[in-house]
């Protein structure tokens, strides 16, 4: 016996998770962004998102800055609600003993057992929410259970942001790996400084880490093609003296590159951000920490997009100079 989602159900769950990842940023997701990130056919994506909106799980806003957004925080949206929005409520429709309609008013001998199975499935899906699924996704190969979310919530902030770049996905993947990713370090420094300025405005005062711990190690993994989306493991962490290294934020995450067509790509950074200032940073108000984390991730992505376009332009210029040189 197989218990699987319909293709529509699969797409709706993927789209709901896209909206959940973007929820903390306050931004709405464009149809094309959801289609690229969730690997949903572009022509089908509007119907998938409308299914969430019609079920009251998402809101839609028109206009240049419009798009779709979860109607409630990811912690309050259950997997059962999402699956039901796609495929309707669970039900035992046909009687396996006679092919007739199987109803509680005229139950067959198997009715109670089958109804119990449906109830059990609904209970399992209702206990899982979108935030928990994202937490498990980020835990990845570490093999941690759902308790991971509660354990790290006071020490980490989840980041998830996107930006478009006017380059094809394959070229983006190649450029990110140039110099083993070491060219990204200045971008990380600049983004961390931007986050620090926001923290100084919103959070407790204390030490400004911008002038300290200026040695940072950026690590990038190989480019992996996952159903047409390029995935690169990306992390940064401070190096140097232990006492100063805690004054610089760290991040463990992934960079995803999805083609938007017409030579454009969508860059998405998702991961776990550890604030600076050691224990003091862990005690920052959660709202402040999440704002600082989101600002840092957004700044890095914006700078990365600019850096990629600059490197592409330089490479094109070098090729033109070489081709135009006299033999």
Domain definitions of the chain by residue range: 7-142, 154-322
Rg (CA), the chain: 23
Asked if 265 contacts 168 with a C-beta cutoff of 8 angstroms, the reply is yes
Per-residue pLDDT of 64-83, as tens digits, reads 778 999 999 999 999 999 99
Give the closest residue to 137 by CA, choosing from 48, 188, 73, 74. 74
Query: What does CATH list as the number for 154-322?
Result: 3.30.530.20
Per-residue pLDDT of the chain (327 residues; tens, 9 = 90+): 445 678 898 899 999 998 998 887 777 888 988 888 888 888 899 999 999 999 999 999 888 778 999 999 999 999 999 999 998 876 655 555 555 555 555 666 565 556 656 676 777 788 888 988 887 766 653 444 344 333 434 456 778 888 999 999 999 999 998 888 889 988 988 888 887 777 666 554 444 444 344 567 888 888 888 777 888 888 887 775 444 444 567 888 889 999 888 899 999 888 888 766 544 444 445 666 777 788 888 899 999 999 999 999 988 765 545 555 445
Residue 280 to residue 206: CA distance in whole angstroms: 9
**Kind plus residue range of the DSSP H or E element containing 114:** helix 111-127
In the 8-state DSSP scheme, what is residue 61?
E
Residue 298 to residue 191: CA distance in whole angstroms: 8
The first and second tokens of residue 171, run together, are 């070229």
**Kind plus residue range of the DSSP H or E element containing 45:** helix 45-54
Per-residue pLDDT of 265-285, as tens digits, reads 999 888 888 766 544 444 445
Query: What does CATH list as the number for 7-142?
Result: 1.10.10.10
Residue 277 to residue 300: CA distance in whole angstroms: 20
The first and second tokens of residue 267, run together, are 């860059």
Tell me the three state secondary structure of residue 124.
Answer: helix
Asked if 305 contacts 164 with a C-beta cutoff of 8 angstroms, the reply is yes
Distances (CA, A) of 291 to 189, 197, 200, 246: 18, 12, 12, 19
Q: How many CB atoms lie within 10 A of CB 129?
A: 22
């Amino acid at each position: 016996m197989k218990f699987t989602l319909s293709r529509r159900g699969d797409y709706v769950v993927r789209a709901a998770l896209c909206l959940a990842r973007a929820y903390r940023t306050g931004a709405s997701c464009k149809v094309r962004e959801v289609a690229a990130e969730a690997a949903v056919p572009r022509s089908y994506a509007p119907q998938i998102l409308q299914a969430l909106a019609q079920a009251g799980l998402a809101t839609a806003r028109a206009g240049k800055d419009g798009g779709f957004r979860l109607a409630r925080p990811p912690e309050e949206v259950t997997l059962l609600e999402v699956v039901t929005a796609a495929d309707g409520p669970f039900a035992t429709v046909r009687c396996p003993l006679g092919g007739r309609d199987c109803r509680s008013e005229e139950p067959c001998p198997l009715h109670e057992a089958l109804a119990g199975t449906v109830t059990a499935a609904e209970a399992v899906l209702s206990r899982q929410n979108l935030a928990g699924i994202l937490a498990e996704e980020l835990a990845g190969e570490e093999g941690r259970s759902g308790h991971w979310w509660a354990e790290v919530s006071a020490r980490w902030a989840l980041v998830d942001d996107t930006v478009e770049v006017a380059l094809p996905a394959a070229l983006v993947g190649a450029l990110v790996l140039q110099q083993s990713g070491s060219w990204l370090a200045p971008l990380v420094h600049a983004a961390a400084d931007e986050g620090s300025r926001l923290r100084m405005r919103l959070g407790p005062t204390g030490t400004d880490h911008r002038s300290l711990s200026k040695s940072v190690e950026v690590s990038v993994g190989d480019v992996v093609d996952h159903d047409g989306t390029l995935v690169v493991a990306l992390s940064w962490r401070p190096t140097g003296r232990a006492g100063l290294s805690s004054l610089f934020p760290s991040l463990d995450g992934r960079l995803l590159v999805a083609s938007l067509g017409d030579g454009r790509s969508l860059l998405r950074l998702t991961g776990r951000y550890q604030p600076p200032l050691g224990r003091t940073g862990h005690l920052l108000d959660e709202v402040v920490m999440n704002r600082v984390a989101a600002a840092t991730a957004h700044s890095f992505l914006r700078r990365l997009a600019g850096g990629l376009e600059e490197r592409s332009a330089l490479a094109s210029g070098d090729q033109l100079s070489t081709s135009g040189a006299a033999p």
